[in-house]
Amino acid sequence: MGDRVDVEQHRADVAELLAGLSDRAEEEMSVQRGVLGRVLARDVVAPGPLPRFRNSQMDGFAVRAADVAVAGPGAPVTLPVAGDVAAAPGEPAPLEPGTAVRIMTGAPVPDGADAVIPVEDTDHVTFNESSGDLAATVEIARGRAAGEFVREPGSDVAAGDVVLRAGTVLAPHHVAAAAACGISRLAVLVPVSVAVVSTGSELVPPDGEPGPGQIWDANGPALVAAVQVAGGRVDLRLTVPDDPEVVRATLERAAALCDLVLTTGGVSQGAYEVVKDALPEVTFRSVAMQPGGPQGFGRIGGTPVLAFPGNPVSAQVSFVVFLRDVLRRAGGLPPVEQVPAVLDGAVGSPAGKRQLLRGRWVRHDGAAARVAVVGGPGSHLVASMAAADVLIDVPSAATTLEPGAEVTTWPL
Ligand code: AMP
Ligand code: MG
């Protein structure tokens, strides 16, 4: 208890504590439900080719290219229309040489046909799919080479090809490819299971009615959201009063249920520092940063626990600086890149402490991105933080930064 470290040291210690979380199990999920944003656990291999069968790329007429080779402007070739094939179940009859078959986009191209003449190149330019009436003949104004407007089986993907790579963060276009291949279930990484425990006898839930001296619990909901955005899953969410025995019992239960326990409050230098009192096996230290100085880290019965400070800005900044990327990496997500920017105004900062100010983009276009401080440094200023886009990282050595100074920002 009581050591004082810099931000990088605590980041490294937290990363080491949580290294074991990277061993993710996998689970199967339906492509129709809940896979968005999940991380693919293994390569997805196409069980068959795509397209599945030779089909038309156009609404038009399936022909033998040789039959219409001489068609040109002012010299159309006229063919009898032998039938109609839609994108519908069934196999079309083979095409007789010297005839054409009306065909719709995606419909199977009959055996014997090797090209599709787009409807625009015929006298059926106004063909009305709903009428169902077929003219007896079609005039073709332009020939096409064999293969034109015919989609060959496997031209998108061949059987056995990798369609999606392990590690892909699933988005709608990945779902489309899997579904098109007839893959209904995907193996995804099981998210890190997190318990979020707010401590404080003054706290009431967001839907509660605060009495005198009470406040709404902001950290619980904030950390639930933060964990979710970082790819984790909150399996336990509790608020406990400042009673060390209750806190101890709650955290033991949380540690038995989840991969990681997060607490807020009860870690600073005052009286009633309940998390400190309840967890003698955990290291509590002061990190040279503002906000978010008091931090705890360790294990309860083998399960890692991080104890964040109670002030809402401190709790959120702690998450961003110490946990966000570790959690993302553990779940297979890329870290959030820091962004260089230029300060829009002057900034004063305490010596010897790295400051993470809330910042708002004034201009956000690459190298010349400009950022301005929003709100004050107070770690209770939740509404100011809500107006911020980033945290502005002011190095610990700096006491003042002039307008135009280059800074690093952490996107929120
Ligand atoms: P503590 O570290 O428990 O002394 O908390 C520091 C400050 O943050 C106190 O003013 C608390 O009331 C406030 N606080 C603690 N936990 C929360 C919370 N979950 N939501 C909002 N404010 C909190
Ligand atoms: Mg408290």
pLDDT digits over 322-332, tens only? 999 999 999 99
Percent of the chain with pLDDT strictly greater than 90? 90
CA-nearest of 339, 317, 343 to 400 is: 343
3-state secondary structure of 225: helix
CB proximity list for 402: less than 8 A, separation 6 or greater: 343, 346
Protein residue closest via CA to atom 16 of ligand 1? 310
309 alpha carbon to ligand 2 midpoint, in Å? 8
217 alpha-carbon distance from chain centroid: 27
Q: What is the 8-class DSSP label of residue 61?
A: E
Looking up tokens 């060390």 gives 244
Q: Residue 365 has what pLDDT? A: 72
Average pLDDT, the chain: 95
- Cβ-contact 95, 112 below 8 angstroms: yes
Ligand 1 binding pocket, CB closer than 6 Å: 198, 200, 202-203, 215, 217-220, 264-268, 270, 309-312
Beta-bridged to residue 392, according to DSSP, are: 357, 409
pLDDT > 70? residue 2:
no
- Cβ-contact 315, 223 below 8 angstroms: yes
**Range of lowest pLDDT (125-134, 234-243, 336-345):** 125-134
Q: Residue 321 has what pLDDT? A: 98
Protein residue closest via CA to atom 10 of ligand 1? 311
331 alpha carbon to ligand 1 midpoint, in Å? 29
Q: Which ligand is nearest to the CA of 218?
A: 1
Q: Residue 124 has what pLDDT? A: 85
Nearest atom (ligand 1) to Cα of 242: 3
Q: Residue 128 has what pLDDT? A: 60
Q: Express each pLDDT in 243-298 by its tens digit.
A: 999 999 999 999 999 999 999 999 988 877 999 999 999 999 999 999 999 999 99
Q: What angle do CA 324, 265, 220 make, to 5 degrees?
A: 55
336 alpha carbon to ligand 1 midpoint, in Å? 27
Provide the sign of the torsion angle of the four alpha carbons 96, 99, 103, 106, taken in this order: positive
Nearest atom (ligand 1) to Cα of 294: 2
Beta-bridged to residue 101, according to DSSP, are: 62, 83
**C-alpha dihedral over 22, 26, 30, 32, to 10 degrees?**
10
393 alpha carbon to ligand 2 midpoint, in Å? 27
Protein residue closest via CA to atom 14 of ligand 1? 310
Nearest atom (ligand 1) to Cα of 380: 8
Q: Which ligand is nearest to the CA of 217?
A: 1
Q: Express each pLDDT in 43-64 by its tens digit.
A: 999 999 999 999 999 999 999 9
18 alpha carbon to ligand 1 midpoint, in Å? 25
Percent of the chain with pLDDT strictly greater than 70? 97
CB proximity list for 205: less than 8 A, separation 6 or greater: 216, 217, 220, 239
pLDDT > 60? residue 112:
yes
Q: Residue 130 has what pLDDT? A: 59
Nearest atom (ligand 1) to Cα of 202: 12
Beta-bridged to residue 296, according to DSSP, are: 284, 307
Protein residue closest via CA to atom 7 of ligand 1? 311
Beta-bridged to residue 390, according to DSSP, are: 359, 411
pLDDT > 90? residue 126:
no
- Cβ-contact 86, 26 below 8 angstroms: no
381 alpha carbon to ligand 2 midpoint, in Å? 17
Protein residue closest via CA to atom 5 of ligand 1? 310
Pocket test for ligand 1, best of 203, 286, 313, 319 (most atoms within 8 A of CB): 203
pLDDT > 80? residue 133:
no
Beta-bridged to residue 137, according to DSSP, are: 80
Q: Residue 1 has what pLDDT? A: 46
List strands edge to edge, sheet with 283-287.
3-5, 283-287, 294-300, 303-308, 260-264, 193-199, 233-240
Nearest atom (ligand 1) to Cα of 311: 8
Q: Express each pLDDT in 362-389 by its tens digit.
A: 987 766 799 999 998 888 999 999 999 9
Q: Express each pLDDT in 294-307 by its tens digit.
A: 999 999 999 999 99
Q: How far apart, in whole angstroms, are the C-alpha atoms of residue 343 and residue 405?
A: 5
